[in-house]
């Protein structure tokens, strides 16, 4: 396997694009030196890089491609829509059809506005919550890593350059499964908190009716509960992680899996709140998601085709099943190579991650980089273990064999030093203060 063409293109990509890519999570600092630099095409869960190397991919377009790359029924639906024009001076009837399809799936969601990115939807939710409550502060759950590219969230990360302190001061943080940390904020800022923003579940399951208690606390204090389902939507359950945990928020946001990789996201919620962005009220109007490209027909058609497949085929069951097989197979390799506590899977089977720790069992980026380097040698790209409907039993088997080989080297690196095995620099967190 060589990466000559990829290597040759890299300097140019960095000359032309800050960071060499349009998404930080795809950047060179996220992968080992011996990795494909550019992907040429994909089919199902397989991708081919610029040098013609083939890989089984995990992660799948930052978790957006749930069915598989170039999934024919979705591509055909989008193509058919495109042939009839993608953007007119009045809305397409597809906007209504797609709204109905989505709202039928999400309990308690009475209205929807579509957009292009998850961040558009989450930022719109923040604005709507502020307008509805007449308050400025937003509370986010700090154990969940990402909500938006916009200032209200990026301002409170390590990469807050360019964002005024005044904006950063409006976002507060609490901890998952720690109701008291939220209660303290409501006490400290009475009648000032517009909404509480959180994922329904990430690595840790809600304990002791936590979600229901958060909802009660929000409503007792006049704040809205907003669930970010950009990752969990259509993975945890057809009705979202909210359905999985049997709780209805005031607002929620969907993206990623909604269109199998096509650019479409959604803000959904209670009519009384959502209608502030509409024409049927006499209150002050809220500028709620209105962009030139907001409802392109092909993205709506792709989303409808994708949702139909989720409804008629066991897509979500498949994600759980293949995730479970990965968990089991990896555990066997971990035992075989005496790596208990050094390497392992975390998260839900439908949205699996792995951890890499050093000889002191501390989280280790060099060990992560080494692992990525070794699986790439065996034809696997897996910054996470997020599967799609296209990951077959055979793909998973091939992956487990590759992991077993990589974990053999991982053990040796723990015993002999990672520098002996790792080529190039370790990866770094995508959101950090300095290079
Ligand atoms: C939980 C969550 N919310 C929101 C977003 C933002 O979505 P987008 O990148 O489509 O703007 C992301 C992106 O990774 C996310 O993971």
| Whole-number Å distance between alpha carbons of 326 and 396 | 7
Q: Is the CB of 199 under 6 A from ligand 1?
A: yes
CA atoms of 420 and 369, how far apart (whole Å): 13
Q: Is 146 in the pocket of ligand 1 (CB under 6 A)?
A: yes
Residue 241 near ligand 1, beta carbon < 6 Å: no
Going by alpha carbons, the residue nearest to atom 14 of ligand 1 is 146
User: Is the distance from the beta carbon of residue 431 to the nearest atom of ligand 1 less than 6 Å?
Assistant: no
Ligand 1 atom having least distance to the Cα of 23: 9
Alpha helices in 281-314 (DSSP H): 297-312
Ligand 1 neighbour 122 (Cβ under 6 A): yes
Q: Is the CB of 221 under 6 A from ligand 1?
A: no
- Contacts for 363 with CB less than 8 Å, ≥ 6 apart: 355, 356, 357
117 Cβ closer than 6 Å to some ligand 1 atom: yes
Give residue 178's pLDDT. Answer: 98
Average pLDDT, rounded, for the chain: 97
Give the DSSP letter string of 347-413.
S-GGGBEEEEB-TTS-B-HHHHHHHHHHHHHTTEE-SSB---TT--HHHHHHHHHHHHHHHHHHHHH
Residue nearest to atom 8 of ligand 1 (CA): 118
Task: Calculate mean pLDDT across residues 285-294.
Answer: 96
Task: Name the band, by pLDDT with cuts 50, 70 and 90, for residue 310.
Answer: very high
Confidence at residue 383, expressed as pLDDT on a 0 to 100 scale = 97
Of all protein residues, the one whose alpha carbon is nearest to atom 9 of ligand 1 is 118
Report the separation in Å between the CA atom of 418 and the middle of ligand 1, taken as the mean of its atom positions. Answer: 33
Average pLDDT of 101-116? 97
The reply to whether ligand 1 has any atom less than 6 angstroms from the CB of 57 is no
- Assign 264 a pLDDT band (cuts: 50, 70, 90): very high
Q: How many percent of the chain have pLDDT more than 70?
A: 100
> Of the residues 122, 262, 265, which should be mutated to test ligand 1's pocket, given the most ligand atoms within 8 Å of the CB?
122
pLDDT in the model for residue 300: 98
The answer to whether the beta carbons of residues 252 and 106 sit under 8 Å apart is: yes
Residue 253 host element (H or E): strand 251-254
For the beta carbon of residue 284, count every other beta carbon within 10 angstroms.
8
**pLDDT value at residue 112:** 98
Average pLDDT over residues 235-239: 97
Residue 428 CB-half CA count within 13 A: 13
Reported as a pLDDT band with limits 50, 70 and 90, residue 346 is: very high
Q: Whose CA is nearest to atom 4 of ligand 1?
A: 147
How far apart are the CA of 329 and the centre of ligand 1, in A? 30
> Do the beta carbons of residue 111 and residue 146 sit within 8 Å?
no
Mutate which of 114, 121, 199, 256 for ligand 1 pocket (most atoms within 8 A of beta carbon) = 256
CB distance 115 to 294 below 8 Å: yes
Query: Residue 237 — very low, low, confident or very high, per pLDDT cuts 50/70/90?
Result: very high
Given the CA of residue 144, which atom of ligand 1 is nearest to it? Answer: 1
115: which residues sit within 8 A by CB, 6+ positions away? 121, 124, 264, 265, 266, 267, 289, 291, 294
What is the model's pTM? 0.97
Residue 326 CA, ligand 1 centroid: distance in Å: 25
Query: What is the pLDDT averaged over residues 132-139?
Result: 98
20 lines ligand 1 (CB under 6 A): no
pLDDT value at position 57? Answer: 97
Please give the share of the chain, as a percent, with pLDDT higher than 90.
99
For residue 26, the model assigns a pLDDT of: 96
pLDDT in tens, 30-74: 999 999 999 999 999 999 999 999 999 999 999 999 999 999 999
């Amino acid at each position: 396997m060589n990466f000559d063409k990829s290597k040759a293109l890299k300097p140019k990509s960095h000359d032309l694009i800050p960071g060499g890519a349009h998404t930080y999570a795809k950047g060179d600092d996220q992968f080992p030196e011996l990795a494909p630099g550019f992907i040429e095409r994909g089919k199902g869960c397989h991708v081919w890089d610029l040098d013609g190397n083939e890989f089984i991919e995990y992660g799948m377009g930052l978790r957006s491609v749930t069915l598989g790359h170039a999934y024919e029924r979705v591509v055909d639906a989008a193509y058919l829509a495109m042939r009839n024009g993608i953007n007119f001076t009045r809305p397409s009837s597809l906007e209504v059809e797609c709204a109905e399809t989505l709202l039928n799936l999400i309990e308690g969601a009475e209205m929807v506005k579509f957009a292009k990115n998850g961040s558009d939807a989450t930022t719109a939710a923040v604005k709507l919550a502020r307008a509805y409550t007449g308050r400025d502060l937003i509370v986010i759950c700090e154990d969940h890593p990402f909500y938006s590219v916009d200032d209200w969230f990026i301002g409170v990360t390590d990469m807050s350059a360019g964002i005024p302190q005044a904006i950063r001061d409006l976002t507060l943080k609490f901890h998952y499964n720690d109701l008291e940390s939220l209660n303290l904020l409501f006490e400290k800022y009475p009648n000032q908190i517009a909404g509480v923003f959180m994922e329904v579940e990430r690595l840790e399951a809600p304990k002791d009716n936590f979600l229901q208690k958060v909802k009660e606390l929000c409503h007792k204090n006049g704040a809205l509960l907003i669930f970010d389902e950009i990752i969990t939507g259509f993975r945890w359950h057809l009705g979202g992680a909210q359905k999985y945990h049997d709780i209805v928020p005031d607002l929620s946001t969907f993206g990623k899996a909604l269109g199998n990789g096509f650019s479409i996201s959604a803000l959904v919620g209670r009519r009384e709140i959502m209608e502030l962005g509409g024409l049927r009220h006499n209150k002050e109007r809220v500028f709620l998601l209105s962009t030139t490209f907001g409802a392109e027909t092909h993205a709506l058609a792709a989303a409808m085709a994708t949702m139909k497949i989720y409804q008629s085929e066991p897509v979500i069951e498949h994600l759980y099943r293949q995730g479970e097989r990965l968990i089991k197979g990896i555990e066997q390799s971990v035992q075989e190579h005496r790596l208990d506590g050094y390497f392992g899977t975390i998260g839900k089977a439908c949205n699996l991650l792995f951890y890499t720790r050093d000889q002191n069992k501390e989280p280790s980026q060099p060990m992560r980089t080494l692992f990525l380097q070794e699986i790439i040698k065996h034809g696997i790209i897996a910054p996470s273990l997020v599967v799609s409907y296209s990951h077959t039993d055979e793909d998973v088997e091939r992956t487990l064999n590759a992991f077993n080989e990589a974990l053999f080297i991982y053990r040796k690196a723990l015993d002999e030093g990672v520098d002996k095995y790792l080529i190039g620099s370790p990866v770094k967190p995508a959101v950090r203060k300095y290079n």
